[in-house]
């Protein structure tokens, strides 16, 4: 018989595209005793999770709660609840996750029109507006706020007017923006949004916070066909998270303790302070990378603070460098996706992992690993980063 040993994970520093380092108190919350999913104590946890999610999303939406599943379950939740077969969807695609949204919408039986942006750039609002006017009306318009595949932040401010021209509900993927950069759903007139727990919330993967405006709820309630997914049907789930508290599925009890603690930490830090921390550390990381002579393919005005895309210099082996960072320093960074596969790295500074210690480790470990490949850094990355941190 095989004798299996208990799982004993090494201590890593997670600076990839997610998961990010989990805060110690969030891990402790996960280990608390499991109670019943209708225990009065747990019902209070659920209410508090909903209440804390609203300011983090920047919304007063009543229908705000975590779905059971990872960020992709949040994506499915929006499309299966808001689309019916034959509906039209306008989807902005500027990376892998926008492409996935289009695929999910197609699988809902929608007629999908995409507007694409070159890899590593934000969507052009003029292109979206042209499609909205020429090819509408649409039931939904969807785009990714923080494209983790390219490190691009999409400005949401022009989007409501475009969605109005399309006659559409406005949907956004906020997986990597939640608790890392301001989202302000209500200010931007977003009708439905989803996120995940393992990026800037620094919680393990497993829940997908979502928020629906009253307008989106009306669309949901006046559907002609039942929601195709029974598990993700918000009409049923809303009755468990609110209203009658009727059993639908067993909520992942301990994951909800964890998100409760992660949200509590975010609000305790203060959202403005948390966003400023992400911005400051991203600026220091970029300064260090550029001091070495590395290139940042995303233009300055479109860069995403929680995730930085950096080009791999000529003659440097992608996998060997990432392997060395992992084996010698316990440091994980992300490889490139799509058109950036083998050509760029993705360095995350998300949530609890966005610290001066981590960015300093990353810059020095990367500098040493690049030198082992024969690359000569132009200047000292740590001095450049320290200068930014000193303000």
Ligand X SMILES: *Cc1c(COP(=O)(O)O)cnc(C)c1O
| 77 versus 367: smaller Cβ distance to ligand X | 77
Per CB under 6 A, which of residues 116..155 are in contact with ligand X?
144, 146, 148
Q: How far is the CB of 344 from ligand X (least distance, A)?
A: 16
Residue 248 class from Cβ within 10 Å (0-12 exposed, 13-18 middle, 19+ buried)?
A: middle
Which residue in 99, 136, 158, 205 binds ligand X (CB under 6 A)? 205
| 175 versus 287: smaller Cβ distance to ligand X | 175
**Beta-carbon count within 10 A of 25 CB:** 13
Which residue in 57, 97, 138, 257 binds ligand X (CB under 6 A)? 97
Residues touching ligand X, count (CB under 6 A): 13
| 348 versus 381: smaller Cβ distance to ligand X | 348
Rounded distance, CA 33 to CA 31, Å?
7
| 204 versus 377: smaller Cβ distance to ligand X | 204
Assess contact for 84 and 100: CB atoms under 8 A. Answer: no
Q: How far is the CB of 138 from ligand X (least distance, A)?
A: 21
Q: How far is the CB of 71 from ligand X (least distance, A)?
A: 3
Q: How far is the CB of 118 from ligand X (least distance, A)?
A: 18
Strand order of the sheet with strand 63-68? 63-68, 207-212, 192-194, 169-173, 140-144, 88-93, 111-116
Question: Measured in Å, how far apart are the chain's first and last C-alpha atoms?
Answer: 60
Residue closest to 238 by CA, chosen among 46, 372, 385, 388: 46
| 89 versus 165: smaller Cβ distance to ligand X | 89
**Beta-carbon count within 10 A of 263 CB:** 26
Site string (158-177) toward ligand X, x via CB under 6 A: ---------------x-xx-
Residue 358 class from Cβ within 10 Å (0-12 exposed, 13-18 middle, 19+ buried)?
A: buried
| 68 versus 148: smaller Cβ distance to ligand X | 148
| 59 versus 154: smaller Cβ distance to ligand X | 154
Per CB under 6 A, which of residues 45..84 are in contact with ligand X?
70-72
Q: How far is the CB of 68 from ligand X (least distance, A)?
A: 12
Query: CA dihedral in degrees (266, 272, 273, 275; nearest 10)?
Result: 80
Asked if the peptide bond before residue 137 counts as cis, ω within 30 degrees of 0, the response is: yes
Per CB under 6 A, which of residues 6..35 are in contact with ligand X?
18
**Beta-carbon count within 10 A of 309 CB:** 27
Q: How far is the CB of 104 from ligand X (least distance, A)?
A: 11
Q: At what angle do helices 96-107 and 71-82 cross, to 10 degrees?
A: 40
| 154 versus 219: smaller Cβ distance to ligand X | 154
Tell me the two tokens of residue 98.
């926008």
Which residue in 180, 196, 297, 351 binds ligand X (CB under 6 A)? 196
Residue closest to 353 by CA, chosen among 361, 343, 365, 345: 361
Rounded distance, CA 104 to CA 142, Å?
11
Q: How far is the CB of 19 from ligand X (least distance, A)?
A: 9
Assess contact for 112 and 139: CB atoms under 8 A. Answer: no
| 306 versus 381: smaller Cβ distance to ligand X | 306
Q: How far is the CB of 262 from ligand X (least distance, A)?
A: 14
Residue of closest CB approach to ligand X = 71
Rounded distance, CA 150 to CA 346, Å?
8
Q: How far is the CB of 51 from ligand X (least distance, A)?
A: 23
Site string (352-371) toward ligand X, x via CB under 6 A: --------------------
Per CB under 6 A, which of residues 292..331 are in contact with ligand X?
none
Classify strands 169-173 and 192-194 as parallel, antiparallel or unpaired.
Answer: parallel
| 173 versus 302: smaller Cβ distance to ligand X | 173
Q: How far is the CB of 147 from ligand X (least distance, A)?
A: 6
Residues that bind ligand X (CB under 6 A): 18, 70-72, 97, 144, 146, 148, 173, 175-176, 196, 205
């Amino acid at each position: 018989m095989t004798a299996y040993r208990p799982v004993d994970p090494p201590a890593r520093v997670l600076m990839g595209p997610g998961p990010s380092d989990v805060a110690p108190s969030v891990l402790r919350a996960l280990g608390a005793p499991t109670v019943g999913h209708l225990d009065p104590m747990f019902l209070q946890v659920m209410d508090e999770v909903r209440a804390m999610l609203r300011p983090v999303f920047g919304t007063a939406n009543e229908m705000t709660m975590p779905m059971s599943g990872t960020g992709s379950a949040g994506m499915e939740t929006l499309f299966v609840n808001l689309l019916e077969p034959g509906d039209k969807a306008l989807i902005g695609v500027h990376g892998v996750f926008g492409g996935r949204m289009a695929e999910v919408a197609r699988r809902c039986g929608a007629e999908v029109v995409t507007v694409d942006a070159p890899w590593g750039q934000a969507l052009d609002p003029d292109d979206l507006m042209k499609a909205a006017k020429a090819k509408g009306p649409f039931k939904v318009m969807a785009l990714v706020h923080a494209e983790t595949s390219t490190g691009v932040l999409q400005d949401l401010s022009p989007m409501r007017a475009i969605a109005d021209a399309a006659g559409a509900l406005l949907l956004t993927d906020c997986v990597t923006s939640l608790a890392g950069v301001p989202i302000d759903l209500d200010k931007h007139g977003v009708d439905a949004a989803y996120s995940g727990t393992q990026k800037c919330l620094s919680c393990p993967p497993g829940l997908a916070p979502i928020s629906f405006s009253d307008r989106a709820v009306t669309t949901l309630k006046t559907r002609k066909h039942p929601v195709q997914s029974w598990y993700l049907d918000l009409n049923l789930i809303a009755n468990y998270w609110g209203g009658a508290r009727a059993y639908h599925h067993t909520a992942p009890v301990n994951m909800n303790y964890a998100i409760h603690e992660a949200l509590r930490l975010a609000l305790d830090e203060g959202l403005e302070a948390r966003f400023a921390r992400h911005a400051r550390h991203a600026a220091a990381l970029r300064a260090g990378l550029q001091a070495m002579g590395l290139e940042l393919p995303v233009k300055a005005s479109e860069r995403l603070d929680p995730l930085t895309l950096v080009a791999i210099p000529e003659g440097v082996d992608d996998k060997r460098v990432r392997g060395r960072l992992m084996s010698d320093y316990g440091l994980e960074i992300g490889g490139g996706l799509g058109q950036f596969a083998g050509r760029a790295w993705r360095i995350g500074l998300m949530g609890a992992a966005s610290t001066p210690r981590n960015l300093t480790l990353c810059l020095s470990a990367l500098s040493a690993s690049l030198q082992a490949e024969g690359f000569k850094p132009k200047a000292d990355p740590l001095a450049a980063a320290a200068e930014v941190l000193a303000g």
